[in-house]
Chains A and B, each alone.
Chain A
Amino acid sequence: MTVATAYVEDVLLVDRCLTGEPAATRELFRRHRNRVHASLFRVLGSNHDMDDLLQEAFSQVFQSLRGWRAEASLATWIDRVSVRVAYRYLSQRGRRIQTDPLIDEDSVPGGEGTDDRRQLARDGVRRLYAVLDELGAAARLAFTLHEIDGRPLAEVADLVGSTVTATKLRVWRARGKVEAAAAADPVLREFLGAHDAA
């Protein structure tokens, strides 16, 4: 599918959604749910409240769909809405985000290795998000979207509605805090070190 075709398909789908067609609502949700869920998961580090967050994000998407002017791609626009939902969630919940232990152990990096390595990965992720829990909402969003979700700084800045410079500064400060925590925490240090080695 070319970019142009995808673009026209998005426009047509949005127009169908605006008529209140249930099939179009389902189609839009199915097209974008995995990407939105993955981003939200990487920001929050768990599936706690994920059902509510996903629903809230898509509810806002459908409520504001009339305002989508096709200046950005539909995916980018939906991501922007999702990030706003995540930001509000982080701000309202304060910095105490409940982080789940990872369940799917085989999917943990290094999961094919020994039990010790699996345990290290699980503990490392948990400790990483414990550090992120101490960050402000904006810094956490910037860090997770850039460092974990792998989005370029400019895109992150666009998503969070900030400048590239401010976003870069937030990522840099957050990274500093993670590195400081790693210096005092051998498990986290080893986890991050293992990744750097990988």
Chain B
Amino acid sequence: MTLRDRIPVEQLDDERLTNIERRLVVGVSELSMQRARRGVPAIWLRGAGVLAIAAAAVLGWKLHAVPAIEPPAAAPVQHFAVVDGSRISVAGATLAGTASYDVMRDAQRVVIEMQRGKLELVVVHDPLRTLVIRAADTEIEDVGTKFRVDFDGANEVQVRVTEGEVKVTRHAQIVRVAAGNAWTTDRGLLALAELDPVVVATSEPAPAPAMVPVPERPHTVEVPIARAPHHVAETVPVGPAALPHREPVITAPADPYVELRTAIRNVPIERAPNIDGHTDAANEIAKLKKLAYSTTVGPEASQALYQIAVLLYRPLGQDAEAMHTLDWYFRRFAGGKEMHAAMWLRVRIACDHSIDEACRRAAYSYQHDVPTGPASDVAVRITNAQ
């Protein structure tokens, strides 16, 4: 019995097809609009969440037992030289540590320019206000977080993020440092656990200059956001220099995935030896795009597309763009020779911020496609992580 091509197909007339087509086009555009609309409440909810956290934090500080000193008059530039035990509130951020720094503020931006020292910060992220720490040629921008900056007064900067995320900019290169990670001028991005605490201790800065009146006990200085743009370079010396050393005010919460994060980072991302990425990643990406977006499907194009994803991830820190490029790679070059490397890159990006469901999915796909090898072992650990 063979019936192939024996049953004639009654064609649908043009009018019916046109109607279907019209309904589809309308449906697809409605779908796009729905997707766009779905994003709006999420933004509002996030904003409301941030506001609630900010309100709770402000209330918490107000109720704190330590008596607050009257803040100095708001000024666009203020100098602080503080030692351990002192805590300063600046526009939604709590600063503690041994450091010498200037604070420059306006309604939208607060810049803390460090001369030297260690600064531990708890920042309630405010989308309407950017908080930036400057240390020599490095800028650290908070994205809602707890972090610490160590600066030796010359070039050496260390950033340790214990909660949330910060954006580090140096020489026009942007790196996003998420919780559990650290960044140094020498070593770039690394796991927090990889940063030897002894190294930090040895880079103890010289005592900050102009340490003056020693109060009886640690205290808090609360500085409102500047509105009057008149006073310049006001010095506000505070801090109980004579007090014995105290543990830092902010202690990092225990990260249950420290070892796992270290293991993930120990499996390197494959990158082409001829691609540096540190000199000018944007230019390299531009060159690679010419290859990747040509109409060929040759190995050069697949390699170029993969390398674009690598550069977007590190050093540029554009994770979402890197993921999008990887999706594009998987669609165009399924089975390409960089496939496994690309899958591992996806694991790295997905697991960078947290060991969550997306991270586990990426890891599961990897272990499914690459059942053996060190990366696969790590992928299994990620998949099984609770």
Do B297 and A51 touch across chains, with their CB atoms under 8 A apart? no
Do A7 and B297 touch across chains, with their CB atoms under 8 A apart? yes
Q: Which residue of B lies closest to A10 (CB)?
A: B331
Chain B residues 1 to 60 lying within 8 A of chain A, measured CB to CB, are: 1-12, 16-17, 19-21, 23-25, 27-29, 31-32
A55 CA to B22 CA, complexed, in Å: 10
A91 CA to B2 CA, complexed, in Å: 26
Do B331 and A148 touch across chains, with their CB atoms under 8 A apart? no
Closest Cβ of chain B: how far from A130's Cβ, in Å? 14
Confirm or deny: A54 has a beta carbon within 8 angstroms of a beta carbon on chain B: yes
Do B2 and A147 touch across chains, with their CB atoms under 8 A apart? yes
Do A68 and B331 touch across chains, with their CB atoms under 8 A apart? yes
Closest Cβ of chain B: how far from A184's Cβ, in Å? 16
Report which of B8, B12, B27, B331 forms a contact with A50, defined as CB distance below 8 A.
B12
A68 CA to B327 CA, complexed, in Å: 10
Do A70 and B330 touch across chains, with their CB atoms under 8 A apart? yes
Q: Contacts A8-B297, A51-B20 given; indicate if A104 touches B4 (C-beta within 8 A).
A: no
Do B1 and A195 touch across chains, with their CB atoms under 8 A apart? yes
Do B6 and A26 touch across chains, with their CB atoms under 8 A apart? no
Q: Which residue of A lies closest to B330 (CB)?
A: A69
Confirm or deny: A14 has a beta carbon within 8 angstroms of a beta carbon on chain B: yes
Do A175 and B330 touch across chains, with their CB atoms under 8 A apart? no
Confirm or deny: A157 has a beta carbon within 8 angstroms of a beta carbon on chain B: no
Confirm or deny: B384 has a beta carbon within 8 angstroms of a beta carbon on chain A: no
Chain B residues 319 to 341 lying within 8 A of chain A, measured CB to CB, are: 328, 330-332, 334
Do B297 and A22 touch across chains, with their CB atoms under 8 A apart? no
A8 CA to B119 CA, complexed, in Å: 52
Tally A residues with Cβ within 8 Å of B. Answer: 54
Contact flags B280-297 to A (C-beta < 8 A → 1, else 0): 000000000000000111
Contact flags B165-181 to A (C-beta < 8 A → 1, else 0): 00000000000000000
A33 CA to B6 CA, complexed, in Å: 20
A192 CA to B1 CA, complexed, in Å: 7
In the complex, identify which listed stretch (A36-44, A81-89, A162-170) lies at the interface while the others stay far away.
A36-44
Do B1 and A175 touch across chains, with their CB atoms under 8 A apart? yes
Number of A-B residue pairs at CB separation under 8 A: 105
Q: Contacts A25-B24, A25-B28, A178-B1 given; indicate if A109 touches B295 (C-beta within 8 A).
A: no
Chain A residues 148 to 180 lying within 8 A of chain B, measured CB to CB, are: 148-150, 175, 178-179
Do A195 and B2 touch across chains, with their CB atoms under 8 A apart? yes
Q: Which residue of B lies closest to A3 (CB)?
A: B297
CB neighbours (8 Å) of A97 from chain B are none
Do B4 and A147 touch across chains, with their CB atoms under 8 A apart? yes
Do A33 and B17 touch across chains, with their CB atoms under 8 A apart? yes
Do A62 and B6 touch across chains, with their CB atoms under 8 A apart? no
CB neighbours (8 Å) of A50 from chain B are 12
Contact flags A12-38 to B (C-beta < 8 A → 1, else 0): 001101001010011001100100011
CB neighbours (8 Å) of A98 from chain B are none
Closest Cβ of chain A: how far from B331's Cβ, in Å? 4
Do A41 and B23 touch across chains, with their CB atoms under 8 A apart? no
Residues of B within 8 A of A (CB): 1-12, 16-17, 19-21, 23-25, 27-29, 31-32, 295-297, 328, 330-332, 334
Apart from A29-B24, A55-B20, what are 15 other A-B pairs with CB-CB below 8 Å? A20-B28, A25-B24, A25-B25, A41-B9, A42-B7, A50-B12, A58-B20, A58-B24, A59-B24, A69-B331, A125-B7, A148-B4, A150-B4, A179-B1, A198-B6
